A and B are shown apart, each in its own frame.
Chain A
Amino acid sequence: MTFHQTHLLGIEALRPEEITTLLDLADRYVDLSRGETKHTDVLAGLTQINMFFENSTRTQASFELAGKRLGADVMNMAMQASSIKKGETLIDTALTLNAMQPDLLVVRHPNSGAVDLLAQKVHCAVLNAGDGRHEHPTQALLDALTIRRAKGRLHRLNIAICGDIAHSRVARSNLILLGKMENRVRLIGPPTLLPAGIQEFGVEVYDDMTEGLKDVDVVMMLRLQKERMDGGFIPSEREYYHRYGLDEAKLSHAKDDAIVMHPGPMNRGVEIDGTIADDINRSVIQDQVEMGVAVRMAAMDLLAQNLRARRANAA
């Protein structure tokens, strides 16, 4: 097995063969999840704690389900409501949790780098469920699995990532992963929503959708957050939809068999036209959700194996 990580903090630390190992295992968990008995006991006896310092329904549910299908004892902690409000620092929260002897810690935090910081202070395996604008590794892995299953490969594809790239951890993790697997990545969005220094990322940058989508195999749309819509970064929702919303006309420039992805939740009529999102021939958005559970099962399984090996060595 090629997977040497202690934590899953970002795609940046993963080697291509580790990504492949993880996706191969995730494929098996897709089969398990589609079967009659959606359950194994590879995580039996282990405790998984989901700590979400930022609202999330989908990702948290996906991690919870993944843990339960693998037989772990899963606990959810909604951190906005808890001690953080009482002035406790992240480090103290981490130490408190560490004392409860968890084995897997799933963390989402609004600050970039906060999950790395936390991982330095605990003795269990930490999974980053999104930190600020930094990384969201399981999202990139589930996107990779979705692409690999739809296209039959995860290399030499033309992939466009469109929309609010500056504020998106999903975009960062994806462009790192897709680059590592040797794909050509294009970023499309208005200049106000592209991060600085983007030319140095080894990607092609477009501010025009029809030009950018020409002959791509995969179209990844990103969610545009409501608070960025009015005047600050873009003039208005309707102008954004006109120029950057994915509709039939713009999609027609992509390859005929191009797939359409979106990490959800979608703003229909803002970044994506409803009919495209629902088109079962083009849209793989529902597959992404399914792959999410499988990828998280695979990630936790691999990290738990390494954790057990480390503990056995220490003993």
Chain B
Amino acid sequence: MTLTQLTNARLIDPETGSESLGDLHVKDGVIAPAGRADTVVDCRGKCLAPGIVDIGVKVCEPGERHKESYASAGRAAAAGGVTTMVTRPDTDPTIDTAEILEFVNRRAQADSIVNVLHMAALTKGRQGREMTEIGFLQDAGAVAFTDCDSVVTDTKVLSRALSYAKSLDALVIGHIQEPNLSTGAVATSGKFASLRGLPAVTPMAERMGLDRDVAMVEMTGVRYHADQITTARALPALERAKQNGLDITAGTSIHHLTLNSYDVADYRTFFKLKPPLRDEDDRLAIVDAVASGLIDIISSMHTPQDEESKRLPFEEAASGAVSLETMLPAAMRLVHGGYMDLPTLWKALSLNPANRLGLDAGRLSVGAPADMVLFDPDAPFQLNRFELQSKSKNTPFDDARLQGKVLGTWVAGTSVFGDL
């Protein structure tokens, strides 16, 4: 068995919160103790960090493979330093039975060059009426249960599903949004939406959604993760819930950390997201919450859409953006802006999501899988969306000036991107 030594690397260690120049050794796909190396890779002082664990990636199999397949998503992930994709069940059909889950798992194992884990729906067809076979799905490999952006409105159904999930120690991921208030909304209410004449939802709808789900967690004791917190007003409720000892974590999306409602400008549909982009005050509050650790996880919320579904009037256009490849450079804006250091950022990108799912990944300690990304945090470039690996090119960062280039990505010690 050969020992590879990655030398002269700026090691970003989210576990210890440290950043130091040093070496890392890899043997048999895991991070190994130092020893006499058979091969040496010179990292030339660039940053070596655990690969990103991305909860909430949409790969459009089954149903819409023309938008994204496991092969293309895997390539995009590798190019973006994402070594584990945790996929969403909001496909067509919904991933809500063990049979469908086994199918997508086969597809993923055959085609994806990075690790793939799957989430399954909490209710059948994401309809919010009957719970799925949580036990069978768990046996088939589902790591979490979520109806994605479709909120279970019937609290009786939800309380039963959560109680049942609790009995299996399953993780449930909720989309926090008061569903009636947000019906038909495509923007956050405020000056911008009013001037543009877009149907909008108050940011309060998010806090109301969180309040409800926190009560549900208190009632059932389920392990719960809020997929995207994007408004300042939801943060005190999250903080209280954590202080009260509930098993709650929260995430946010890379877009809500780096863009605001005004970026929509003249009805640019690539900026149409769910929940919609927020005002700058909210964005800054969410950035602070990630820096302080109140928000645990940053996700790409990678949502491929083809040109046809975006080239429509804003209200009718599909929501979501691709972001597997742009998450790392976009997140560098938070570092270059002085909001947080690299180890803190990497807690949210790799360590915390891995811990939440009970994975060994997401860290650089001996024995952990050698899932790693080597990147230059300063390298500038201008993004051309047609150069993305994703089949869909719907990125809000088209033409944006970004800093931070992935130089190499390894999954279990095997290079999947870069030529180092």
Contacts and interface: CB of A to CB of B under 8 A. Distances in A.
Contact of B267 (A117, A166, A197): A117
Nearest to A89: B312
Interface residues of B, number: 22
Contacts of B200: 196
B311 interface: yes
B192 interface: yes
Contacts of B197: 112-113, 131-135, 169, 172
Interface in A113-150: 113-114, 116-117, 131-135
Contacts of A197: 189-194
Nearest to B279: A197
Given A89-B312, A196-B200, A116 B267 contact: yes
Contacts of B312: 89-91, 117
Contacts of B308: 89
B160 interface: no
Interface in B166-225: 189-200, 202
A50 B196 CA distance: 23
A201 B196 CA distance: 13
A109 B313 CA distance: 10
Contacts of A196: 189-191, 193-194, 200, 202
A197 B194 CA distance: 7
B266 interface: yes
Interface in A39-97: 89-91
Contacts of A117: 267, 311-313
B86 to A, nearest CB: 34
Main secondary structure of the interface of B (DSSP, over half): loop
Contacts of B195: 12, 172, 201
B253 to A, nearest CB: 23
Contacts of A166: 194
A36 interface: no
A90 B197 CA distance: 19
Contacts of A135: 197
A230 interface: no
Contacts of B397: none
A200 interface: yes
Nearest to A169: B197
A195 interface: yes
Given A116-B266, A197-B191, A200-B191, A134 B196 contact: yes
B64 interface: no
B315 A111 contact: yes
A111 B155 CA distance: 34
Interface in B319-343: none
A198 B198 CA distance: 14
A172 B202 CA distance: 20
Contacts, number: 73
B311 A89 contact: yes
Given A132-B197, A197-B192, A113 B311 contact: no
Interface residues of A, number: 25
Contacts of A131: 197
A244 B196 CA distance: 26
B398 interface: no
Contacts of A201: 191, 194-195
Interface in B218-270: 266-267
Interface centre among A112, A132, A134 (most CB of B within 10 A): A112
Contacts of A91: 311-312
A198 B194 contact: yes
A200 B262 CA distance: 14
B77 to A, nearest CB: 31
A83 B362 CA distance: 53
B314 A113 contact: yes
Contact of A112 (B189, B191, B313): B313
B316 interface: yes
Interface string A192-207: 0001111011000000
Given A132-B197, A134-B196, A196-B202, A114 B313 contact: yes
Contacts of A169: 197
A134 B196 CA distance: 5
Contacts of B316: 111
Contacts of A132: 197-198, 313, 315
A112 B315 contact: yes
Contacts of B202: 196
Interface centre among A12, A196, A200 (most CB of B within 10 A): A196
Interface string B85-97: 0000000000000
Interface string B283-322: 0000000000000000000000000100111111000000
A220 to B, nearest CB: 18
Contact of B198 (A89, A109, A112, A200): A112
A271 B82 CA distance: 59
Nearest to B308: A89
A32 B316 CA distance: 43
Interface in A174-201: 195-198, 200-201
Interface in A193-240: 195-198, 200-201
Nearest to B189: A196
Contacts of A113: 196-198, 266-267, 313-315
A89 B315 CA distance: 14
Contacts of A116: 266-267
A90 B196 contact: no
A189 to B, nearest CB: 13
Interface centre among B190, B197, B199 (most CB of A within 10 A): B197
B191 to A, nearest CB: 4
A154 to B, nearest CB: 22
Contacts of A134: 196-197
Interface centre among B194, B314, B315 (most CB of A within 10 A): B194
18 contacts: A89-B308, A89-B312, A91-B312, A112-B197, A112-B267, A113-B196, A114-B313, A132-B313, A132-B315, A134-B196, A135-B197, A172-B194, A195-B193, A196-B190, A196-B193, A197-B194, A198-B191, A198-B194
Given A113-B313, A135-B197, 17 more contacts: A91-B311, A111-B315, A112-B198, A112-B267, A112-B313, A113-B267, A116-B266, A134-B196, A166-B194, A196-B189, A196-B190, A196-B200, A197-B189, A197-B191, A198-B191, A198-B194, A200-B191
Interface of A: 12, 89-91, 109, 111-114, 116-117, 131-135, 166, 169, 172, 195-198, 200-201
Return the 5 tightest CB-CB contacts between A and B, nearest first: A133-B197, A113-B267, A134-B197, A111-B313, A197-B191
